[in-house]
Structure 1
Amino acid sequence: MNNSFLYIITVLIWGSTWIAINYQLGEVSAEVSIFYRFGLAALCMFTYCHFKQLPLTFSAKQHGQLFFFGLTLFGANYYLIYHAQAHINSALTSIAFSTLMMVNIINARICFKTHISSQVYFGGGLGLFGIVTLFWPQISNVHFGDSTLLGLGLSLIGVMLASTGNMISIKNQRSNMPVLPATAWGMMYGAIFMGIVAMAQGQRFNFAYTVEYISSLLYLSVFGSVIAFGCYLTLLARIGAHKASYATIMFPAVAVVISSIVEGFVWDSYTLIGLSLMLTGNLVVLAKPGVLKLFTFHFLKTSKV
């Protein structure tokens, strides 16, 4: 698959998972639901790799790396972000998680000496400003007390863990570890970690036998985990974490469009300006370096005329 297709699939799927996550909250604890999600996703991954005869054997050292990969990307970060939403609204969570791009930029510079162009910084800044604008009506009246600060703190720690998982994935691929088998093991380790956390907290491993819970679990496991993570982690190695992670800024845009159709969300000036900034930032980040300079040159030339 080409990079554009992988990027679009990632954005569309992850931008729609918020609906499925809503159906996961309730009778079954968040920890147990995450355990089910990545346990089922790992099973699907292992089955696919087996039938495709992809190598599933790794050295002990590589398994240590895969363990931390799964712990950071498929376990601890989800645990923290789920619990953050008990203290802050979804708008603040989206804004906090969207900082993943900037954290990835810093980590890519530190870990891999990746050169980041001013174009990426500019596009990322536009995207973040667009998200804040989009959610301004929800966050303008937020009282930044202890609970809110705790929620933001949990979200940002979750973002740092997710970015660490991104860096480990790049390292995995640079070490010639195939994406899908490595992801299968990572998801299994993430599920095991969440299972241990659930048991330590005394959570019941119950199950909600409803159409909503089962269908949302299948969607999150197959589409939201197997397919979306497969596409996203492939993009990390192909175009770099700084560009691939702009997808996290585009998730709220997809969520707003879906909410307009499903829940009757009414657009206002904040919605239009916010989405416009996010889309513009997306084009700036993913455009070839010469394209932006050419556009700027023509714009300045036209404005003089």
Structure 2
Amino acid sequence: MRSTILYVMTVLIWGSTWLAIEFQLGVVAPEVSLVYRFSIAAFLMWGYCLWRKLPLKFSAKDHRFFVVLAVCNFGFNYLLLYWAQAYLTSAMTSIAFSMLLIMNIINNRLFFGKSIAPRMFVGAALGLAGIVALFWQDIRTFDLSSTAMLGLGLSLAGTMVASFGNMTSVRNSKNNVGVLQGNAWGMLYSAFFLAIYVVLNGGSFTFDFAAPYVLSLLYLSVFGTVLAFAFYFILIKDIGPELASYTVVLFPVVAVALSIWFEGFELQPSSMLGFILVLSGNVIVLTPFRKIKALLLPNKAVQPVV
């Protein structure tokens, strides 16, 4: 039950951040907005950890992994994705980022030797096919001869960086590093490194006091960062990175629903097909084949399968 609740909350929160990010673009540079976002998140995480009197002292080796976590999950992966969106639509960036599911499965095998269940490939294939169907109108206009290829490369690079961050979280959990404490250090390091990046590139720490920017910044900091990352890393610890990362495939479903409600997005037949494929893939990834067979063939003996 806990994993189900965390799973749903992660999907809803991160799916809605696509809409919130729209209000962050324009006046303030993306890297500066990220400094603000992770500074607020780090302040909240540290305050909570100190209030709960959680241990925050770790070895130098652990701190090296906190730095990796900061770079991969709380900072520069976001920069790569923001840069990619200069060449791609948000739909295309979402499709590329949904490859995190496959990357996590492969990296979990490479770094931790965990076997890959056949159903993972079937479910992932359906999920990715669903993403393609959801945004088919955008894919039709994709021009291989344009700079969109650069955008795709940046998107995939940002996704791979995020996958390495997921593997770092797995390592931290295996070494008894609490999710909250690891996130607190990771967010603090992220804000610090992003601020250095802004300074070295001659950027300025401007701010937009308009309500949409401030409210979206607070939402992204508190819900999109503090709560969602905590939920997600607990999921990684409980059900593994390959299952937890399937939330990424569902993000566009939430994003489309919000777009229909707030922006008047018209649902096309290809979008309906996408919803069906994504949800079907989700069921397959999360349900072992033996349980599916037992459900479909309740009166027949079912041999154990992955």
Tell me the distance in 1 between the aligned counterparts of 2:294 and 2:37: 46
Tell me the distance in 2 between the aligned counterparts of 1:295 and 1:132: 29
Aligned to 1:81: 81
Aligned pairs (5 A) from 1:140-155: 140-155=140-155
Aligned to 2:303: none
Provide, for residues 248-280 of structure 1, a one-character-per-residue CA deviation record: whole Å limited to 9, x for no partner: 000000111111111111111111100110011
Aligned to 1:65: 65
Provide, for residues 45-79 of structure 1, a one-character-per-residue CA deviation record: whole Å limited to 9, x for no partner: 00011111111111112111111111111111001
Aligned to 1:284: 284
Verify: 1:55 aligned to 2:76, yes or no. no
Percent same amino acid at aligned positions?
A: 47
Aligned to 2:304: none
Tell me the distance in 1 between the aligned counterparts of 2:245 and 2:296: 25
Aligned to 1:240: 240
Tell me the distance in 1 between the aligned counterparts of 2:4 and 2:147: 40
Aligned to 1:203: 203
More helix by share: 1
Tell me the distance in 2 between the aligned counterparts of 1:267 and 1:62: 47
Provide, for residues 98-149 of structure 1, a one-character-per-residue CA deviation record: whole Å limited to 9, x for no partner: 0000000100001111122111211111000000011011111221224111
Aligned pairs (5 A) from 1:175-194: 175-194=175-194
Tell me the distance in 1 between the aligned counterparts of 2:125 and 2:295: 19
Provide, for residues 272-302 of structure 1, a one-character-per-residue CA deviation record: whole Å limited to 9, x for no partner: 100110011111111244222224547x9xx
TM-score normalized by the length of structure 1? 0.95
Tell me the distance in 2 between the aligned counterparts of 1:91 and 1:227: 24
Unaligned runs of 5+ in 1: 301-305
Aligned pairs (5 A) from 1:109-148: 109-148=109-148
Aligned pairs (5 A) from 1:20-39: 20-39=20-39
Tell me the distance in 1 between the aligned counterparts of 2:14 and 2:207: 24
TM-score normalized by the length of structure 2? 0.95
Tell me the distance in 2 between the aligned counterparts of 1:192 and 1:270: 43
Equivalent AA in structure 2 for residue 184 of structure 1 = A
Tell me the distance in 2 between the aligned counterparts of 1:56 and 1:267: 48
Tell me the distance in 2 between the aligned counterparts of 1:32 and 1:168: 25
3-state SS, counterpart of residue 24 of structure 1: coil
Equivalent AA in structure 2 for residue 151 of structure 1 = G
Q: How many residues align?
A: 300
3-state SS, counterpart of residue 114 of structure 1: coil
